[in-house]
Amino acid sequence: MAKTRVPLRAVAQANDDFFYERPGSLPGTLHIEENSPPPEIILIDYNEAGAIRKEIATPEECTPYLDTKSVSWVEVLGLGDEGILRRLGQVFNLHPLILEDIVNVPQRPKVEEYEDQLVIIARMVIPKENGSGFYSEQVSFVLGKHYLLTVQEEPKYDCLESVRSRIRSHKGIIRKHGADYLAYTLLDAIIDGFFPVLEDYGEELEALEDEVVSNPTHQTLEKIYRLRRELLGLRRAIWPQRDAINSLIRDGSDLITEEVRVYLRDCSDHAIQVLDMVETYRELGSGLMDIYLSSVGNRMNEIMKLLTVISSIFIPLTFIAGVYGMNFDTEKSPWNMPELNWYWGYPLCLAVMAAVAGGLVFFFWRRGWFQNFSTIKDDSSVTNSAETATGSPSAAAEYKRLPR
Amino acid sequence: MAKTRVPLRAVAQANDDFFYERPGSLPGTLHIEENSPPPEIILIDYNEAGAIRKEIATPEECTPYLDTKSVSWVEVLGLGDEGILRRLGQVFNLHPLILEDIVNVPQRPKVEEYEDQLVIIARMVIPKENGSGFYSEQVSFVLGKHYLLTVQEEPKYDCLESVRSRIRSHKGIIRKHGADYLAYTLLDAIIDGFFPVLEDYGEELEALEDEVVSNPTHQTLEKIYRLRRELLGLRRAIWPQRDAINSLIRDGSDLITEEVRVYLRDCSDHAIQVLDMVETYRELGSGLMDIYLSSVGNRMNEIMKLLTVISSIFIPLTFIAGVYGMNFDTEKSPWNMPELNWYWGYPLCLAVMAAVAGGLVFFFWRRGWFQNFSTIKDDSSVTNSAETATGSPSAAAEYKRLPR
Amino acid sequence: MAKTRVPLRAVAQANDDFFYERPGSLPGTLHIEENSPPPEIILIDYNEAGAIRKEIATPEECTPYLDTKSVSWVEVLGLGDEGILRRLGQVFNLHPLILEDIVNVPQRPKVEEYEDQLVIIARMVIPKENGSGFYSEQVSFVLGKHYLLTVQEEPKYDCLESVRSRIRSHKGIIRKHGADYLAYTLLDAIIDGFFPVLEDYGEELEALEDEVVSNPTHQTLEKIYRLRRELLGLRRAIWPQRDAINSLIRDGSDLITEEVRVYLRDCSDHAIQVLDMVETYRELGSGLMDIYLSSVGNRMNEIMKLLTVISSIFIPLTFIAGVYGMNFDTEKSPWNMPELNWYWGYPLCLAVMAAVAGGLVFFFWRRGWFQNFSTIKDDSSVTNSAETATGSPSAAAEYKRLPR
Amino acid sequence: MAKTRVPLRAVAQANDDFFYERPGSLPGTLHIEENSPPPEIILIDYNEAGAIRKEIATPEECTPYLDTKSVSWVEVLGLGDEGILRRLGQVFNLHPLILEDIVNVPQRPKVEEYEDQLVIIARMVIPKENGSGFYSEQVSFVLGKHYLLTVQEEPKYDCLESVRSRIRSHKGIIRKHGADYLAYTLLDAIIDGFFPVLEDYGEELEALEDEVVSNPTHQTLEKIYRLRRELLGLRRAIWPQRDAINSLIRDGSDLITEEVRVYLRDCSDHAIQVLDMVETYRELGSGLMDIYLSSVGNRMNEIMKLLTVISSIFIPLTFIAGVYGMNFDTEKSPWNMPELNWYWGYPLCLAVMAAVAGGLVFFFWRRGWFQNFSTIKDDSSVTNSAETATGSPSAAAEYKRLPR
Amino acid sequence: MAKTRVPLRAVAQANDDFFYERPGSLPGTLHIEENSPPPEIILIDYNEAGAIRKEIATPEECTPYLDTKSVSWVEVLGLGDEGILRRLGQVFNLHPLILEDIVNVPQRPKVEEYEDQLVIIARMVIPKENGSGFYSEQVSFVLGKHYLLTVQEEPKYDCLESVRSRIRSHKGIIRKHGADYLAYTLLDAIIDGFFPVLEDYGEELEALEDEVVSNPTHQTLEKIYRLRRELLGLRRAIWPQRDAINSLIRDGSDLITEEVRVYLRDCSDHAIQVLDMVETYRELGSGLMDIYLSSVGNRMNEIMKLLTVISSIFIPLTFIAGVYGMNFDTEKSPWNMPELNWYWGYPLCLAVMAAVAGGLVFFFWRRGWFQNFSTIKDDSSVTNSAETATGSPSAAAEYKRLPR
C-alpha cells in the first residue's frame, strides 16, 4: 500500500534516484512498482560434471537443489509480484530486511553479512544504444554455502550473458569452483560493464572539446552540465561498490574462500580504475566549463572590437562631413567656412577623411585587432597539431629508438 | 532568566539556528521560550497482549509504569513549562545535562550514553505544505530498560503518527519487541521523513534547471542561492544524525539488543542515502550557478551583437548621407561635389548605400550573427530531447531486449 | 630585549596575528609588550563553607593557599611586568615553556600535560560594542590539584564575570566541586562567548544579503571580503580549542574527575556548534560573492540594453534625416530627391521615422527588454516573500495541525 | 578474441587510458594488441664474479638460471605473442591474474604479494623528443628469490639503460646484491624518469606565464587546458606508484631485505617529490587560468575605453555641427540662428568644438584612461624585475654576507 | 658526472625546485654544483665548563672530539668539494644515502633514523633584504651520541648566529645540555626564521589589499599570482618540516631525551603556527583575486555608463538637429518644415533639445548613475574606517571597561 518513489526528472536523469519508504512504514514492507514485470525464475545447477538450466514457476521448486553440493544459481528477473518474492524469502530463509533491500530498489550498493548468508547489493549499468547515457538497475546477491540467489530489477537487459554461456559450455574454470566464485564472476562482469559506459562518455567529452573550441553555443554548456551530472551519478554508483568489494576482501566472511579473495582483488582494481576515470572525466568536464566561459568572453571581445573599429572610423568622418554641412554664411565674412568656396575644397575634404580613416585603420592594425580572423583559422590547425602530438600509436611507432 | 536564542533571519532561513546560553550561565539552566506551548504528556504502555494510552497531567503519574516489563513510551509534546520539565527530570532521574540538552533546543544531533540510560538527540524535518522549505524540530529520546521517553519541541506536527497507529492496531512486530525497537522505529521514521523534503527540493531543482535555460532572471539566482542555503541546513541536520546512528551500531550499549542493531544498520543506510542526495543536489545547484553566470554573459553577447549590427550598418550610411549634406559650392569648381548635379546622382547614392548595407548584412550573416534567433528556439527542443532521453520508464520499456 | 610581534594590519584585522620570537632567541625568554598593563593578581579561595577574595600584590602571597583543600583561584590580569610573572612562575613551579606560552601571547589554543599540572591555552572573544568584529585575548589556565591559575592578556574586559559572581553568591554547584570544575566552568564561559560574536556576524550576513540584492556597490564586496576574513580568524580561534577540549575528554589526565569529564562533553558540543556555524557562515559568504559577481554582470546587461535601445532607435532615424539633408540638386533631374518637393514630403518623412521607431520599440518590447523595470520592483517583493516563508515562529504557529 | 581497449583521444592525450576487458570475459584472458611488437627476451645473469647477457628465443631457456644463486634478470620487451607469454607464465609459475595484469596493459600501478613472488606494476614515462608531453608504458616486475622478471610494453625506448650498463661494467654495488636490489634500482630509475618530464612541463609553464601576460590568445587557454590535463595524467601515474612503494617498505615481504628497504625509503622520497611538483604545477596552472580570464576582461576594458573616448569626444562635436546644419530661415527672424551670419561665427564654432574636445580629453586624462599605453610598456619591465628578483644563483651570490 | 638540476625559473621563483638525479644514476652519487663554494668546516666543542671553536681544514681533525663527553658541533658550510664531503662521510660513518641527501640539495625535509644516528633534513628561509621573497637553503643535521654535524648549502647567510653566540657566552642552559638540545635549538631557530618572511608577506598582502581597492591594474593581478606562488613554495617548505618534528616527538629515538622532547613540542607549535598563517594568507590571496576580478567588472560598468550617458544624451539631440537639417522645400507646401520659418523656430528647437537633454540627465541621476564619483571618494574613507575599527592596540586601549 505505502508505495512511493522519487519521480524527479533531475534525479532520474542523473541515474541517482533513491528508493524511499513513506516515513513510518513498517520495516520489511515490500513496495512493488505497478509497471514492474512479474519475476521469471531460472535455476542453473552445475558442478564440474554437468549443468542443468530450468525455468521454474514457484520458488519452492528450488528447495531440493539448495543443499546439494552442486552450485545452484537461482536467477530472479523482475520484481513485479509480492507474493512470489515473499515465498522466495521463505525458501531462502531471508531476513525481512534483506528482502526489503532486494525488492525496494534502488538501494545503495553494499555488503552485509548475516549468519550463514552474505548479501551483496550491486548496481549494473548498461550503455544506451544511442551512445549517450546509460540504463542502470540493481542486482542483489544472496550467497549461501552452495547456492547463489541473484535478483535483477529489469529482466530485459543485463551484462551477465557471457557468464551464463561460460557455465553452459564449461569454459574457463567456473564449473570447478563454488558459489563464491560464481558471485565473483558476476560482480566482475558488473564492474567491467562500467567501461563501455565510460567509453561513451570519453567520446562525448572529446566531441565537446572540439565543440567548445570551434563553435561554443549555449547548448554546449547544457551538454557539459548534463555530462557532469551523469558522471556524478556514475560516481555514486561505483563509489560504494568499490567500498563493498574492499570490505569483502578485508573482512573475510567464511563463505568466500581464500582463492576467490585473490580474484576479488582484481575486481577491486577494476572498480578503482572506473572511479579514477570518472574523477578524471569530471575534472576535464569542469576544465571545459572554464574554456566555455572564456570563449563567451572572447567572443564578446571580438564583437566589441568590430563595433569599436567601425564606430571609431566612421564617427570622426561623420563629424567632418557634419562640419561642412553647417550653414555659416560664407558671404558675411571671409572667415565663415571659406573652404566651401575653395577650388579643391571637396577633394581636399575627402582626402582628409581618407587620411583619418587610413590612420585609424593603421592604428588598429598595429594593435593587432585584425588578427582574429587569421586566429580563427589557426584554431583548427592548433587542434590538429594537438591531435597529432598526443602519443597515438603511429606517433609512438615513429619514435626513434633511444640508444641503450 | 538568562534566556537568549539566535534570532537571525539568515540562520533561521537555513533552518540551522543554534541554541546558545548567555556566556557564563549555570550548567543545567533551562531556557523556556515564551511562546512555547505547555507540554502535553502521553503515556503509551504496551506489550504483546495489549496497549493502553493515557494523557497524564503530572510526570509523577508515569512512575508506576516505568519498571514494569511492558514497554512504556512517555511522549512529551511541547517545552513550555519549566516546572513540569524539572519534575520529569526527577521522575526519570535525568542528569542535569540531559535535561538541558532536551529543553534548550536546538542541539546538534548526537548519542550519549549514561549509566543506565541512552540519550539520543535527533532532528525531525517536515516539508512545508507549500512545497518549498521545511519545518524542523528536535526530538529527544531517553531510552531506559523498559521505557522510552521522547520529548518533541513542537506538539502540532510530526511524522510519528504511523508508529502510534502501529502500536494501537498491533501491526507488524512492534509489540513483540522492547523499548529499543520502539526507539529504532521512531528514529527510522524520522530519517525517512527527510525523503519527502528531498523530493520537494528535487522538484525545485528541476524547475530551476528549466528556468535557468529558458528565462534566467536575477530572481533565478536568488532561488539558487536559497536552495543551496537550505540544502546546507539539511546537510547539517542529517550529517551528525548519521554519525549518531553509526555510533549506536558500533559502540553497542547494553540497552540495544543485537537484533535491533541489525535494524539500525538499515536506518543508517537510509541516512547515508539522504546525505548522498543532499550532496548531489548541492553539486547540481552549483552547476546551475555556472549556467546562470554563463547565461548572463551570453545575453550580453546577444545585446552587443544587436547593437553592433545596427550601429555598423547605419553609421557608414549616415556618413555617406553626411558627405552629400556638405555645402561645398559646386559652382566654384567642377571638383566640388559634382555628384550633386548628376542626373542619376541621388539614385546612385541610394544604390551605394543599399550596397554597403547589403554587404554588411551578408558579412554578419556569414559570421552567423543571425543564428541566435533560431538558436533560442532550438534551446527548448534540446531540453525536450534531453527529457525524453533520460531513462524514463517508457523509454526503458522500449529498450530492445539484448540477446542473451 | 628581543621583543618582536607581528604588527600587520591585515593580520590584526583578521584577529589571527601570532606571536613570534626573534629567530634564535633563548627558549623561555619572556617578551613584554610596552603598552601592556601591569598585572593585577586576585586570589579567590573557596570551598562549600565560604569564599574569600583578595587583591594581592606579590605572587608569593598565594603560597599558603595553594596546598590547602579549598580551591584557590589565582587570577592574573595583564602581562606588563616581567619580574612579577617570573616570580609567579616560581611560586607555581612552572616549567619555563609554560611561562613562555602564558606570556608570549598570542599562542595557538592547546592542552598540555605536565607532571602535576595541566596547562590549557584558550582564546576568548568579546564582541565589539559597535556590533562589528570582536576583540580577542588569550586566557591561560594552569590547573593543579587544589588550585587554578588563570592569566588573561587584557584586564579590561572578559566574559567570566558570571562565574565570579556564582562563586561569591554560592549559586549552582560550583563551590561543591574542585578546581577542575572551576576550569570547566571558565572554559564553558569562553566557548559560550563565541555565540554573541556569531550572532553579530549572522546579522551582518543578513544585512549583506539584502544589500547584495537591492543595491550592490563595490563596498558590498569589501564587506563580504572582510566578513570572510574575520570568519577565517574566528575559525582559527575555535578549531584548535575544540581539539584541545576533545583531547581533555579523551586523554583523561588525573587532574580531571570523571564527573567533570561529562560536563566537558557538553562544552565540546558547544565548540562543535560554533565551528558548524562559522563554516555555514563562510559558505553563505562565498555564495554572496557569487551573487555579487552576477549582479555586476546583470547591471552591465541593463546598461548595455539601455544603450542599445537608444542607439538602435535613433541611429536609423538620424540616417533618414541625414538622407534628406543631402544637397542633391532637385532641379538637375527629376530623380534627385523629388521627395523634397512633394506636398506631403515632410509629414511623410516624419511618419516613416515614427513607424521605424515604433517598430523597433515593439521589437524590443517583444523581446522583453523593458521588463527589467518591473523586475527591479519584483526583487524586493521576492525578498519579502522569502522572508515570510522561512519558518518564523508566527508562520510555524499558523501551520495546520497534521492529522495523527 | 574479446580484445577491446579504450581508444579515446581525450583519454589518450592525457596518457591515462585504461585497459578494460569486455564485460564478462574470462578471468585470465590475455588481450594482445594487433600492432604490438613480438617480445624479445633477454637474460642477464650476474653475480659479483661476472655477468652474462643472452638473447633467448623461448622462455624455457631461462629455467636453468632461475634457481641458481646468481641473480637472473629476465627482460621481456614487447607483448605481441600470446603463446610466448603463456609459456613464460608456465616457466615462472605465474598466477593467471599476474599474467593478465602483465599483458593487459595499462593497469594501475600496484604491489601484490603472492606466495613466493612479489609483483610490482609500475608506469614509466619518457619525455617526448619535442619537449612537450610524454610517452608512457607499463613495466611489470615479478620478483622471486633469485630472479627478477621484467616485462615492458614497448621495446623501443626506456630509461633503464644505465642499470644495464652498471651491471655490465660492475659499477656501484649492484652486482654485490640480490634480485631485490635490482628491482629497487629499476624502480628508482623509473621514478627518476619522471623528473625530466616535469622539467619540460616546468618550462612550458614558464612560457605560458610569459604568454598569458604579454599576449594571451584563445590558444593560450587551450594550452593551459592541455597542460592541466596532462598533469592530471601524470598525477595518476605517480600517485599509486608512491602508495605501492610505501606498501613495499611497510608491509615488508620476505623477498626484500632490510638493507634494500632503506634504499626504498629514498625511492619513496623521490616519488613524493614528483607528486609535490605535479601538485604545485597544477595549482600554478589554475592560477594561470585566473590570470587569463582577467586578461580577457582587461582587454575588453581597453576596447571599451577606446570606443568610449572616441564616441564621447566626437558625438558632442557632431551634434554641434548638426545644429549649425539646420536650415532655420535666418531671414524670418533675428532669433533664427543669427550665429550663421556673424562675422566670427565659423571660427567661434570651431573654437567651441575644440574647447569641448579639449575638455573631454582632459577629463579622460585625469581619470587615467590614457595610462594603459604606458602600462603596457610597464608590464614587460615588471616581468623583467620579477625575473631578476627570484633568487637566481647570481642574485644569491651578490647577497651581502649577514653578520654572524 | 651525472649532475643535473631543475633550472626552471617558474620553479625557482616559487622556491620549490627539487634536486633530481639523472634517471638511473648510481645511488649514493654526489652531485656538486659548479658554482658551489668550497666547504668551510668549523668545530665547536663545549661543555658546561668551557667552549672552544676551531676552523679545521680536513674532516679527519674532528675524530678525536666525537667520542668525548663534551658536545661537538661540526658545522660544514658549503657543498663545493666532493672529496671533502666523502671524507666527512667516512669520519662520521655515514650511510651513502645520508651523504646523498646532505649533498644533493634540495631534498624534502624529513627525519630518518639510522642505527646510532638521527638524520634531520630541514629547510631554512631568510627574508630578502628588499622585503619581497626569500632565500632558502637546506640544513642537514646528523645527530650522534655526543656530536652534531650540520651541513649548510650556502655559507653566506643563515639565522643560527644567535645560537653560536649563546654557546660562546654561556647564555641560557645550552651548555648544560647535550647534542640533542643543540639540535633542538637550531631547529627552533630555523622554524622561527619563517616568521620574518611571513611578516613580509603580511605587509605585501596589506599593500595589495589597498591596491586592489584603490587602483587595480594588471600588475596587481600578477603580484597576487606571484604572492600565491611563493606562499605555495613556503607551504611546501614548512609542511614536511612540521611532520618531521612531530615524528621526532612521537617516535622517540634514544638519542633525544625526554626533556628535550618537551622543548620539541614547543617547536612543533611554532611550525603549526607558521602553517596556519601560510594557509590564512593563501585564502586571503584568493579572496583578493575575487575582488580584483569584480573590480575589472565594476570598472567596465563605469566605462559603459559613461558611454551610455553621453551617447544617450547626444544621439537624440543629433537626431533633432538632423531633422531640421533636412532640405524639404518649404515653399512647395505649408506642411514642409514650417518650423524653419517660424519666428521662434530656432530658440524653440534649442529649448526642445535642452528639455530632452535635461530629461535624460534627470533619468540617469534618478537611477543613481552619477553616484560613482562620490562612491570612489567614499571608498577610501571606508578603508580608513575599516582600519580604525580593527582592534589596533590604541583602539583596544580606549575600550571602556566592561562592568564585572
| Interchain pair C20, E192: CB under 8 A | yes
CA dihedral E213, E215, E217, E220 (to 10 degrees): -50
Residue C5 banded pLDDT, cuts 50, 70, 90: very low
| Average pLDDT, integer, range B87-105 | 89
CA distance B344 to C335: 7
Q: Is pLDDT above 70 for E11?
A: no
Q: Could you give phi then psi for residue B191, rounded to 5 degrees? A: -65, -45
Q: What is the structure's pLDDT at D393?
A: 36
Does the structure's ipTM exceed the value 0.85? Answer: no
Q: Is pLDDT above 90 for B296?
A: no
Q: What is the structure's pLDDT at B218?
A: 77
If you count them, how many residues does chain E have?
Answer: 404
Residue found by looking up cell 557455465 in the block = A167
Radius of gyration of chain A measured on its C-alpha atoms: 35
CA distance E291 to C293: 9
CA distance E181 to E243: 19
Q: What is the structure's pLDDT at A1?
A: 35
Q: What is the structure's pLDDT at B378?
A: 33
How many other CB atoms are there within 10 angstroms of residue B202's CB atom? 23
Name the DSSP letter for residue C401.
Answer: P
D323 contacts on E by Cβ (under 8 Å): 321, 350
Q: Is pLDDT above 90 for E339?
A: no
Rounded to the nearest angstrom, the minimum Cα separation between C60 and chain B is 30
Q: Is pLDDT above 80 for B78?
A: yes
C321 vs E307, E326, E387: nearest CB: E326
Rounded to the nearest angstrom, the minimum Cα separation between C63 and chain E is 26
- C397 grid coordinates: 504557529
Peptide bond between residue B216 and the one before it cis (omega within 30 degrees of 0): no
Q: What is the structure's pLDDT at C371?
A: 63
Instruction: Write out the DSSP string of B167-194.
Output: HHTT-TTGGGS-HHHHHHHHHHHHHHTH
| Average pLDDT, integer, range D220-237 | 88
If you count them, how many residues does chain B have?
Answer: 404
Peptide bond between residue C240 and the one before it cis (omega within 30 degrees of 0): no
How would you write E344-386 as a 3-class SS string?
A: CHHHHHHHHHHHHHHHHHHHHHHCCCCHHHHHHHHHHHHHHHH
CA distance C41 to E239: 40
| Interchain pair B389, A28: CB under 8 A | no
For an interface test with C, the pick among E199, E319, E337, E364 (most C C-beta atoms closer than 10 Å) comes out as E319
The secondary structure element, H or E, covering residue B90 is helix B82-91
CA distance D355 to D6: 71
Name the DSSP letter for residue D138.
Answer: E
Rounded to the nearest angstrom, the minimum Cα separation between D35 and chain E is 29
Of D322 and E378, the structure prediction assigns the larger pLDDT to D322
Peptide bond between residue C338 and the one before it cis (omega within 30 degrees of 0): no
B310 contacts on C by Cβ (under 8 Å): 308, 311-312, 315-316
Q: Read off the amino acid at residue B10.
A: A
Name the DSSP letter for residue B115.
Answer: S
Q: What is the structure's pLDDT at A374?
A: 38
D-E contacts at Cβ under 8 angstroms: 252
Q: What is the structure's pLDDT at C382?
A: 35
C343 vs E172, E333, E393: nearest CB: E333
C283 contacts on B by Cβ (under 8 Å): 232
Give per-residue pLDDT as tens, C275-286: 988 998 998 888
Strand C147-152 to C71-77 pairing: parallel
List all residues 6 or more positions away from B192 whose beta carbon is below 8 Å from its beta carbon. Answer: A20, A21, A22, A23, A24, A25, B159, B270
**pLDDT > 90: percent of chain A:** 23
CA distance A221 to A208: 9
Q: What is the structure's pLDDT at A24?
A: 62
A337 contacts on B by Cβ (under 8 Å): 327
- CB neighbour burial string for D207-245, b if at least 16 within 10 angstroms, e if fewer: ebbebbbeebbbbbbbbbbbbbbbbbbbbbbbbbbbbbb
- Subunits with 3+ C-beta pairs closer than 8 A to E: C, D
Rounded to the nearest angstrom, the minimum Cα separation between C31 and chain E is 15
CA distance E100 to E174: 30
Q: What is the structure's pLDDT at E364?
A: 86
With H, G, I as helix, E, B as strand and everything else as coil, classify residue B9.
Answer: helix
Q: Is pLDDT above 90 for C180?
A: yes
**pLDDT > 70: percent of chain E:** 85
Residue C391 banded pLDDT, cuts 50, 70, 90: very low
Structural contact between residues C149 and C141, judged by C-beta atoms closer than 8 angstroms: yes
CA distance D369 to B123: 58
Q: What is the structure's pLDDT at A371?
A: 63
Nearest alpha carbon to residue E402 among D22, C263, C164, A136: C164
| Interchain pair E340, D328: CB under 8 A | yes
Rounded to the nearest angstrom, the minimum Cα separation between B219 and chain C is 7
Give per-residue pLDDT as tens, B321-330: 888 888 888 8
Q: Is pLDDT above 80 for A12?
A: no
B238 contacts on C by Cβ (under 8 Å): none
Q: Could you give phi then psi for residue A169, rounded to 5 degrees? A: -95, 10
Q: What is the structure's pLDDT at C401?
A: 32
The pTM of this model reads 0.78
B-C contacts at Cβ under 8 angstroms: 250
Residue found by looking up cell 634504499 in the block = D263
Nearest alpha carbon to residue D302 among B294, E214, B312, A367: A367
Residue A379 banded pLDDT, cuts 50, 70, 90: very low
In whole angstroms, how far apart are CA E43 and each of E106, E130, E139? Answer: 24, 33, 16
CA distance C285 to B10: 11
Q: Is pLDDT above 50 for C11?
A: no
Give per-residue pLDDT as tens, A76-129: 998 888 889 999 999 999 988 889 888 888 888 999 888 889 999 999 998 888
Bridge partners for C53 per DSSP:
C44
B304 contacts on A by Cβ (under 8 Å): 300, 303-304, 307
The secondary structure element, H or E, covering residue B138 is strand B134-143
How would you write E226-249 as a 3-class SS string?
A: HHHHHHHHHHHHHHHHHHHHHHHH
| Interchain pair D294, E296: CB under 8 A | yes
| Average pLDDT, integer, range C338-343 | 85
Q: Is pLDDT above 50 for A388?
A: no
Instruction: Provide the strand spans (E) within D128-218.
Output: 134-143, 147-152
- CB neighbour burial string for B339-369, b if at least 16 within 10 angstroms, e if fewer: bbbbeebbeebbeebeeebeebeeebeeeeb
* Lowest-pLDDT choice from A238-247, A353-362, C366-375: C366-375
A262 contacts on D by Cβ (under 8 Å): 95, 97
Q: What is the structure's pLDDT at A74?
A: 94
Q: What is the structure's pLDDT at B358?
A: 93
Q: What is the structure's pLDDT at E38?
A: 86
Residue found by looking up cell 611538483 in the block = D277
CA distance C181 to D341: 101
Tell me the longest C-alpha to C-alpha distance in chain B.
125
Rounded to the nearest angstrom, the minimum Cα separation between E98 and chain D is 10
| Average pLDDT, integer, range A369-387 | 43
E189 contacts on C by Cβ (under 8 Å): 23-24
For an interface test with B, the pick among C294, C309, C385, C388 (most B C-beta atoms closer than 10 Å) comes out as C294
Give per-residue pLDDT as tens, E33-91: 777 888 899 999 999 888 999 998 888 988 888 888 899 999 999 888 888 999 999 99
Residue of D nearest to A330 (CA): D341
Nearest alpha carbon to residue D308 among D363, D373, D375: D363
Q: Is pLDDT above 50 for C374?
A: no
The CB-based long-range contact list for B286-289 (8 Å cut-off, 24+ gap) reads B286/B228, B287/A225, B287/A228, B287/A229, B288/A225, B288/B205, B288/B208, B288/B209, B288/B212, B288/B224, B289/B221, B289/B224, B289/B228, B289/C290
With H, G, I as helix, E, B as strand and everything else as coil, classify residue D323.
Answer: helix
Q: Could you give phi then psi for residue A118, rounded to 5 degrees? A: -120, 125
Of A383 and A332, the structure prediction assigns the larger pLDDT to A332
For an interface test with B, the pick among A1, A53, A97, A219 (most B C-beta atoms closer than 10 Å) comes out as A219
Q: Is pLDDT above 80 for A56?
A: yes
Give per-residue pLDDT as tens, B362-400: 988 887 777 654 333 333 333 333 333 333 333 333 333
* Lowest-pLDDT choice from A393-402, B142-151, D47-56: A393-402
Structural contact between residues D51 and D168, judged by C-beta atoms closer than 8 angstroms: yes
Q: Is pLDDT above 80 for D143?
A: yes
Q: What is the structure's pLDDT at C115?
A: 82
**pLDDT > 70: percent of chain C:** 85
Residue found by looking up cell 512647395 in the block = E332
How many other CB atoms are there within 10 angstroms of residue D82's CB atom? 13
| Interchain pair C11, E277: CB under 8 A | yes
| Interchain pair E333, C326: CB under 8 A | no
Structural contact between residues D141 and D115, judged by C-beta atoms closer than 8 angstroms: no
Nearest alpha carbon to residue B92 among B217, B179, B23, B16: B179
Q: Could you give phi then psi for residue A10, rounded to 5 degrees? A: -55, -45
Nearest alpha carbon to residue A239 among A123, A101, A100: A123
Q: What is the structure's pLDDT at A213?
A: 78
Of C157 and E138, the structure prediction assigns the larger pLDDT to E138
| Interchain pair A276, D236: CB under 8 A | yes
CA angle B403, A192, A103 (to 5 degrees): 70
Q: What is the structure's pLDDT at C400?
A: 33
| Average pLDDT, integer, range B330-343 | 84
Rounded to the nearest angstrom, the minimum Cα separation between E390 and chain D is 30
- D81 grid coordinates: 605473442
Of B364 and E377, the structure prediction assigns the larger pLDDT to B364
Q: Is pLDDT above 80 for B285?
A: yes
